[in-house]
A and B are shown apart, each in its own frame.
Chain A
Amino acid sequence: MKLAILGAGDVGRSVADLAAEYGHDVVALADSTGASVDSTGIAVESVLERKAGGEAVGSSDPEDVFETEYDVLVEATPTTLGDAEPGFTHVKRALEADRHVVLANKGPVAERYEELRALEDEHAGSIRFEATVGGAIPVLSTVEDCTPQAVTAVRGVLNGTANFILTRMAAEGLDYEHVLAEAQDLGVAEADPTFDVDGTDAALKFVILANVLADGGFALEDATVEGIQDVPGSALDLAAEDGRTIRLIGEATRDGVRVGPRLVPENGALAVTGTRNIVQIETRNAGSLHSSGRGAGGPETATAVLSDVGRLPPL
């Protein structure tokens, strides 16, 4: 397939880097200021080198991406909330041109799911978005394989930053502020970690899951969300007295989405440590399935994007 990649952050760059390994050509890579476009395939290595050296991705206008010959638009621009722009418009333009779209951007799928599905119905291309939930972990494809109707709930830990902080707090008996600073030094937490620690990032993923289970109906504002900023080290100590620990757990069902700090058994499946993610898919006929792995990172998330590309039907 010919891939046009919008967004040249960790994920977009990794998709470009790994595309050939998965048997695909990259015909465009663009960020908000420039683009490299070539319908016979761009020279990925030199483009990535230029980008790493602080130069623009290319000299073309990002608009040119939509004019080139591509089969799949990979939407890997940063997640935005509310109207989920410009991501939503990117997806719309590609679908209206009867192309496929694979999203790594959570915004459109969490905030405007029904509109996306309506556009998909009207046009020839399909949309897929495995990379938006749990990075490398095959969450949505597992739900799809079980058929969403037979999945009663999805629960789990889908934010590595919050999980890292809670794990360190419990292990070292340290307080939130201290561990957050350490996580920032290690590069696990961003300079502004708000979305991770206040539960928004996890909530977006569980909103997407609820949309898949219920075939739409949810946006971030429908989720009940609490973060971990108010959890002191002493709360983790108390939880440990009884063989439990605290994790930022999300739950998605057809009835709603809830994210917040919860007590889970210390040695239970959901008490993953560090930046690891886990989901528990509760099914009607097959009990609970667990999948754990790296929920973030460029190459990890890119594998989810490329798996999606591999699942697309020919146009």
Chain B
Amino acid sequence: MGDAPDSGDEDEPDAETDGGLRAYTVRLELVDEPGELLRALAPIADNGGNLLSIHHERGNITPRGHIPVEVDLECPPDRFDDVVEGLRGAGVNVIQAGAEHYGEEINVVLIGHLVDTDLSNTLSRIEDEADAVVLDLSLAAPEGTGGISSARARLAIDSGRSEEALAAIRSIGTDKELTVVEPLLGGDA
């Protein structure tokens, strides 16, 4: 899983829509011939995708004798089908598409009666309502589980969706009377 660089070389501001960008991974199989990789990448850019990283597994031949390539890209969600269609239309063998990976990680600290308010329900609501994946959780309950405790959750979120995710987490916090300490986004904090 390649780390998504902040500034892709192929930045295409035109491709950005109000829906924001999402990150996707596609796995391709290429015939071992010169120029094949370049040919396979063109449909991505042509359809509004922004290349983040390319994993070219030379020497690792698939059972069909082809070379597997994993490509991370970002594009508006409504363009992803076009990207995949474009690849298939160009005769590229797409073996996996749409297995999303997430572009950003953020930390939040929750404070309050975390145990009494059903921490696991809080976390699943964060996953559902904030469209996030909880990667990591630490809990500190120095007063015991009946008192005020704190939890830090590291969340994976789609690129460009942090504000929305945080707004959703904030409203879950309000519902459950928890204090949500959010990261400061924006600027070079």
Contacts and interface: CB of A to CB of B under 8 A. Distances in A.
Interface stretch (A130-138, A201-209, A227-235): A227-235
A155 B150 contact: no
Contacts of A260: 181-182
Contacts of A232: 111, 142, 148, 150
Interface string B76-114: 000000000000000000000000000000011101100
A241 B148 CA distance: 19
A48 interface: no
B142 A235 contact: no
Interface string A232-243: 111101110110
Interface string A95-130: 000000000000000000000000000000000000
Contacts of B181: 231, 235, 239, 246, 260-263
Nearest to A263: B183
Contact of A230 (B142, B179, B186): B179
Given A242-B152, A282-B187, A263 B182 contact: yes
A244 B150 contact: no
B189 interface: yes
B184 A249 contact: yes
Interface of B: 107-109, 111-112, 138, 140-142, 148-152, 154, 179, 181-184, 186-189
A194 B111 CA distance: 20
Interface residues of A, number: 30
Contact of B184 (A226, A231, A242, A270): A270
A153 B183 CA distance: 16
B138 A153 contact: no
Contacts of B184: 155, 249, 251, 262-264, 270
Contacts, number: 85
A234 B112 CA distance: 11
Interface in A269-312: 269-270, 280, 282, 288
Nearest to A230: B179
19 contacts: A155-B186, A230-B111, A234-B142, A235-B181, A238-B109, A238-B138, A238-B151, A238-B152, A242-B107, A244-B107, A246-B109, A246-B181, A260-B182, A263-B108, A263-B181, A263-B184, A264-B183, A268-B189, A282-B187
B150 A235 contact: yes
Nearest to B182: A262
Contacts of A261: 179, 181
B183 A262 contact: yes
A197 B189 CA distance: 22
A305 B189 CA distance: 29
B101 to A, nearest CB: 21
A264 B154 contact: no
A235 B109 contact: yes
Nearest to A253: B186
